[in-house]
Amino acid sequence: MVNFQCKKSEKKDVQTERKKANRKRNKTIIFLKKQNIMLAEKLDKYIKQTDLSEHEADLSKKLIKDLRKCALYALYGQTGCDIKLVTPLTCDNKLCSICNWSRQKKIRRKYFAWFSVNQSICKISKNNNTEFVTQSNLNKYLNNGYVLETDNIPYELKHLTITVPHSAEYGWRGNRFYFREIIRTFTQMRKTKEWKKQVYGGEYGVETTKNEKGYHIHIHALLFTAKGTQNRNLLHLDILRIWNRLTVDKNAERKVFAAEDILSIKKGNSLITEGYVAKLNPQGATLIGLESIYYKENGKKVYPKELNTDAMMRAILETISYHFKPKLFNCGEKSYDLSSIVEILPNVHGAKMYHKFGCLYKEKCLNVKDDSLLEDYDETSEEVDEETGEVLQTHYFVTNPLNTYSKGVDNEIHIRRQNIVKNLNVHSGREAVRKLIEYSYKKR
């Protein structure tokens, strides 16, 4: 016999948790918007006091404008006394803290849904060429003349980190800003037979930090790899050998391996021998990171095994968080490396710093960039009358998130000033999202 009272209570608990999450989301956007404004002010002051090239000045001013306008307008819905954030209108700048946070939230949802369908990889062939594709894309290839060989290949997820030999004065191969060069070199490695045999696909992003050797530009990649005994160590051997060869810089300071270099190289893999090291070039990269993905809990690493779980999502976000947290732009700090931001902007302008490859190449549903604000509107989050089952009427309006604040035990959202609220005469949340976009264009 169904316990309707119990089901009613569970539904109420879900709604309560959803409201808490929404209020937390609103507080986060307020915090990040203040960080954006702080950076914009510091950057504005910096460029007025610094001699910049015309290109550096133009891009810096664009960044300042984007930081100030991001989430200047946000859509809210009010049902009864309860106010909820629907979606802010973002700027899509690579250095915007709100946009990076928003992308991270979206990609989590996308991967969670994607793994429910793609528990294994498919092997297909056409004209003697073999490829690996995902379950969700299989039919597209079959309809294009490919033949299915197997649709049940298990895989593991690994985190790869690779860098190149560089110096503060010369960078890598004479270029201090080698973003495009390291991407091209990584593409070369993915074309080798050793790589294709063990890696089905994945995605990667380019991260930049700064140390005593200048700009440290490197790649973090999420790999979908074959399962098997010693598969990590065997793949590590091949990647290290190939990457070492592809990254040789004749101007690199190191000409021969010191004893500590050899110990460091061997420490990364129990299969590495003296003979293996002897075949490496001292002027190429010799250290790479490769391990199963994990997240940290109470200071310990947790390695999840099941794909479509919250634990796996935590591990994936830990792996790809580098796409959304530029180290030179730390939202948790009150100080920024302004000179580096201004210097790097022209060198990454128009460059795509995130890519999918192999079996993930045509997975559009996993794209980090998504211009559809409707994705933030969830029909299931609408309030429903528990007695009649009817959807309760929601009033939608547009305002700046800084015009809102939290109050009370449950941190309910409240409005400071009604005179900076734009009320929308709409009949649905989707229509309200479209009106938000129209309203923002009129205000430009």
Q: DSSP letter string over 357-416? A: EETTTT-GGG-S----GGGG--GGGS-B-TTT-PBPP-EEEEE-GGGEEEETTTTEEEES
Contact 179, 353 (CB under 8 A): yes
- Confidence class for position 55, pLDDT limits 50, 70, 90: very high
Please indicate, yes or no, whether residues 328 and 381 belong to a single structural domain of this protein: no
pLDDT of 391 higher than 70: no
Mean pLDDT score of the chain, rounded to an integer?
A: 87
What's residue 101's pLDDT? 87
Residue 345 covered by a domain: yes
What's residue 169's pLDDT? 87
Please indicate, yes or no, whether residues 243 and 312 belong to a single structural domain of this protein: yes
* Six-digit token string for 432: 């309200």
Residue 105 covered by a domain: no
Please indicate, yes or no, whether residues 312 and 343 belong to a single structural domain of this protein: yes
pLDDT of 199 higher than 90: yes
Instruction: Tell me the Ramachandran region of residue 341: left when phi exceeds 0, alpha when psi lies from -120 to 50, beta otherwise.
Output: alpha
Residue 228 covered by a domain: yes
> Percent helix, strand and coil across the chain, each rounded to 5?
45, 25, 35
Residues 6+ apart with CB under 8 A from 223: 157, 158, 159, 160, 199, 201, 202
Q: What is the mean pLDDT of residues 202-209?
A: 90
Please indicate, yes or no, whether residues 390 and 349 belong to a single structural domain of this protein: no
Q: What is the mean pLDDT of residues 192-208?
A: 93
Residue 287 covered by a domain: yes
Please indicate, yes or no, whether residues 392 and 310 belong to a single structural domain of this protein: no
Please indicate, yes or no, whether residues 335 and 403 belong to a single structural domain of this protein: no
Please indicate, yes or no, whether residues 219 and 282 belong to a single structural domain of this protein: yes
- Confidence class for position 288, pLDDT limits 50, 70, 90: very high
In angstroms, the first-to-last Cα distance of the chain is 59
Please indicate, yes or no, whether residues 334 and 210 belong to a single structural domain of this protein: yes
What's residue 153's pLDDT? 95
Residue 162 covered by a domain: yes
Q: Which domain holds residue 65?
A: 4-96+372-442
Q: How far apart are CA 30 and CA 38, in angstroms?
A: 12
Please indicate, yes or no, whether residues 290 and 392 belong to a single structural domain of this protein: no
What's residue 2's pLDDT? 46
Q: What is the mean pLDDT of residues 62-73?
A: 95
Contact 302, 295 (CB under 8 A): yes
Q: How far apart are CA 398 and CA 421, in angstroms?
A: 6
- Confidence class for position 286, pLDDT limits 50, 70, 90: very high
CA distances from 104 to 25, 97, 370 (A): 13, 11, 11
- Confidence class for position 334, pLDDT limits 50, 70, 90: low
Overall domain count for the chain:
2
Please indicate, yes or no, whether residues 77 and 200 belong to a single structural domain of this protein: no
Residue 18 covered by a domain: yes
Please indicate, yes or no, whether residues 182 and 293 belong to a single structural domain of this protein: yes
What's residue 369's pLDDT? 66
pLDDT of 307 higher than 90: no
Please indicate, yes or no, whether residues 191 and 240 belong to a single structural domain of this protein: yes
DSSP per residue, 102-162: HHHHHHHHHHHHHHHH-SSEEEEEETTEEEEEEGGGHHHHHTTT-EEEEEEE-EEEEEEEE
pLDDT of 371 higher than 80: no
